[in-house]
Amino acid sequence: MQAPLAERMRPQTLDEVLGQRAVLGPDSSLRRALSSGRCPSMILWGPPGCGKTTIAGLLAAEVGLKFRPVSAVLSGVKQLRAVLADAETSWTLEKRGTLLFVDEIHRWNKAQQDALLPHVESGRVVLVGATTENPSFEIISALRSRARVTVLSALEDDEVIELLERALADQEHGLGERCLSLEADLLLRIAALAGGDGRRALGLLEGLVDGAEAGSTLTLDGMVDRLGRADILYDKGGDQHYDVASALIKSLRGSDPDASLYWLARLIRGGEDPMFIARRLVIFASEDVGNADPRALQVAVAASQAVQLIGLPEGRIALGQAVTWLACAPKSNASYKGIDDALAEVDKSGALPVPTHLRNAPTKLAKDLGHGKGYRYPHDHPDGVVAQQYLPDRLIGRRYYRPVRWGQEKTLAERLAWWAKRLEER
């Protein structure tokens, strides 16, 4: 009972594992393999506290493999070789395979991961690696081809609450002997603060009940000061960085200011560099709003300058203003598509000659060569426009900018159409 509550409450069978039904359900491919006495090598990819270590140990027990856990943070090639040598001995003397569990396997370099390959191929070692990072980036392809990637999810709030209630009722491993009860609102708050991390949820529960009298009922009002604030799962160099930033941009593009503010708050609470956020907003203003609302770029640039000037926490106000403006602005990617189409044209066509009448004529020689000859000055003509070739000969008639029919670009589209009509009438 001196062990942490989370350690004491580890499931004893796969059926006791909460969540992960898609992976561990009775009809899953993994359970079918286990029922035939076989455990495949795999990489368990999921957030902290979703059960990776527990599942690995239970898999070994399910098919009678020797369980050898190692930490990629603490172990090097020398320690790995010792474990693999022991696995060979177990196979030779006992005819018993070994399940090698490598926690934080993404921490190992290519050489260390390469060292696993022949042992996994022989079948004498079943590899179960655990990682919170995307295996596509962190695990070598040769190892991924020999170990299926299995995605685990963070626990849902109702699953976290079930875990907490188990701990409160369990008299052998949990807190059952103390006959404590927690009101529903307090359980919900713990689940929210845990963020799908079962280990963290049990740690929060253990801290709350410390010193509570047996048989007492704990309420949210009585415990709110001890709960603190959520420890947001966020890795500025990993998937959370890209996923949350992506969610912000997609919410802005979808014109949802509430979702946009939420994802902005996630980035801020996660400790993201505010200038990274500001840069993304400046890009979005041109890429997704464009000339549908030219003020969007001004707002985004001003927010970026404000953040650089005052930093956080006050900078959050400028970021919030920019995010809500961008979310509510009419959207157009016509300018973004236009420049990309024009760049593609240049890549395809090369450096086409500038029409002679558009060329600069700063010298007598240039003028003698006809540079600028025949150029028609638009301000000398009605409406400030004149029928004149501006594209190279091979590109006459090409269009790269196609303004949308809403926002400020509606006005631009109408202006372009009006100019075209006036020129046809002359």
Domains contained in the chain, CATH given: 19-151 (3.40.50.300), 157-227 (1.10.8.60), 239-328 (1.20.272.10), 357-425 (1.10.3710)
Q: pLDDT tens for the chain, 426 residues: list them.
A: 678 999 999 999 999 999 898 899 988 999 999 999 899 999 999 988 899 999 999 999 999 999 999 998 887 777 888 888 888 888 888 888 899 999 999 988 888 888 888 888 887 889 999 998 888 888 999 898 889 899 999 899 999 999 999 999 999 999 999 999 999 999 998 988 888 899 999 999 998 888 888 898 888 887 877 776 555 554 545 556 778 899 999 999 999 999 999 999 999 988 888 999 999 999 999 999 999 999 999 999 999 999 999 998 999 999 999 999 999 999 999 999 999 999 999 999 898 988 998 888 888 888 888 898 989 888 988 888 888 888 898 999 899 999 999 999 999 999 989 888 888 876
The C-alpha angle 51, 57, 63, rounded to 5 degrees, equals 130
Within 8 A by CB and 6+ apart from 66, the residues are: 60, 87, 90, 96, 97, 98, 99
| Region for residue 4 given its phi and psi (left: phi exceeds 0; alpha: psi -120 to 50; beta: otherwise) | beta
Are 131 and 45 in contact, with CB atoms under 8 Å apart? yes
Query: How does DSSP classify residue 15?
Result: G
Nearest residue to 84 (alpha-carbon basis) of 76, 132, 206, 24: 76
